[in-house]
Amino acid sequence: MEKFKTEDNVLVWYEGEDETVRVPEGVEYISTTAFWINNGFKKLVLPASLSRFNAAAFDFCKNIDEIEISADNPIYYAKQNCLIERDSATLILGACKSKIPADGSVKTIGSHAFGGTSHCCVFIPACIERVEEEAFLMNYQLYINVEAEEEPDSWSEDWCPTGVTPENICWEEGDPDILILFGCKPDED
């Protein structure tokens, strides 16, 4: 049985149980529903041919730890387990083991970039100028530490629709889905 169903250079469906998913060369776009059923993989490897990207395709993929893309891809590159669009300096897709670069190479966190990311901590460095709508959508036990002292006005109003801050946290039912803390310092490596 073929693991990848493609139509006109679009990955329509993945059917497999591999821990590493290597999207075939020739795929230019990944449909939003491609990974809705088979989403337990831990590592995503993307081809040089990928020319358009919809991070919502990975909203149900809460187990992704690693992201790689062919070094020959002219539009995107991977850095510290983040998929980044070269021209716009936008983080397109993140994972649990992502470390958002703090060197200014990323200015924006895109819509759905961390959709479905769970059981981990994400640090947003001060160089991030914008976070798009629903960048952190459908998360479970995600902790977001932000270097900025307060939410910048340039961030979308809906960047984290289910997030809680220390002012509105409720511990009665266990850990929150998302906890957001501002004024955090970066980890020393």
pLDDT of residue 137: 82
Q: Which residues of the chain have pLDDT under 70?
A: 1-2, 39, 161-177, 188-189
Contact (CB, 8 A) for 61 and 85:
no
d(CA 150, CA 140): 23
d(CA 148, CA 43): 30
Q: In whole angstroms, what separates CA 92 from the centre of its chain?
A: 6
Burial class (CB in 10 A: 0-12, 13-18, 19+), 123: middle
pLDDT of residue 16: 86
pLDDT of residue 54: 87
pLDDT tens figures, 116-133: 787 788 999 999 999 999
The residues facing 84 across adjacent strands are 77, 91
d(CA 147, CA 157): 18
pTM: 0.89
Contact (CB, 8 A) for 49 and 26:
yes
Tokens of 26: 């020739």
Identify residue 129 by its one-letter amino acid code: E
d(CA 44, CA 102): 23
pLDDT of residue 66: 94
Tokens of 159: 């960047």
Q: In whole angstroms, what separates CA 174 from the centre of its chain?
A: 25
